[in-house]
Amino acid sequence: MAAGLFFIQAAAAQNPAISTRYSNEEIVEKIKTHKAAHSHDVMPPANLQQKFRVDYPKASDVEWETTGDVYEVEFDVRFRDCKAYYAADGHLLMTVEETYRSELPAVVKNAAEAKYPKYHFEDIDKIRRGTEVFYNVEMELRNAEVALLIQSDGTIRNEKTDY
């Protein structure tokens, strides 16, 4: 029983819960404002560093930036690029984790392949924001590139092409 409890705790620490303090709309607005502003490197407050260490105990190559009320932290976990966005009050708002094609839900993979059947997968990120999960899927065919933002149910929310 103790070994099972340890496994559950270890797994949860690598997929920390997104805060429910803010609505999805509030999180979108906070992240949008953060990305539009000029962020700067920072050493976050001790309580935020501690929260991050609990959320991501295996993180390495950690770099922090802030715009004041949002802290963005870039890091690696098991050779994967990751980002986490925290509110200044310590609540986790959003995560972005590099993901492999083999880890995509079938409905997401099928949506991308149905839309662009001859393209191959290039980069994939899993985005957890508020109560929502998205996949940013970049695909290529020769000199053409497409970026799809796909909800976890397979709905394509955004599409950008570059030829």
Q: What is the pLDDT of residues 42-98, one digit of tens each?
A: 999 999 999 999 999 999 999 999 997 999 999 999 999 999 999 999 999 999 999
**pLDDT band, very low/low/confident/very high, at 15 (cuts 50, 70, 90):** confident
- Beta carbons within 10 angstroms of residue 122's beta carbon: 13
Query: pLDDT value at position 20?
Result: 93
Task: Say yes or no: 110 and 86 in one domain.
Answer: no
Q: Tell which wins on pLDDT, 151 or 13.
A: 151
Mean pLDDT score across all residues of the chain: 91
Q: How far is CA 85 from CA 14, 58, 78, 120, 130, in A?
A: 15, 17, 19, 30, 11
Check pLDDT > 80 for residue 11: no
Query: pLDDT value at position 14?
Result: 67
Tokens matching residue 56: 């991501």
Task: Say yes or no: 52 and 107 in one domain.
Answer: no
**pLDDT band, very low/low/confident/very high, at 128 (cuts 50, 70, 90):** very high
Task: Say yes or no: 83 and 36 in one domain.
Answer: yes
Task: Say yes or no: 31 and 67 in one domain.
Answer: yes
Parent domain of 132: 101-162
Q: Count H helices and E strands in the chain, helices first.
A: 4, 9
Task: Say yes or no: 74 and 113 in one domain.
Answer: no
Query: pLDDT value at position 68?
Result: 78
CA 20/CA 56 separation, integer angstroms: 19
Flag the least confident range among 5-14, 39-48, 134-143: 5-14
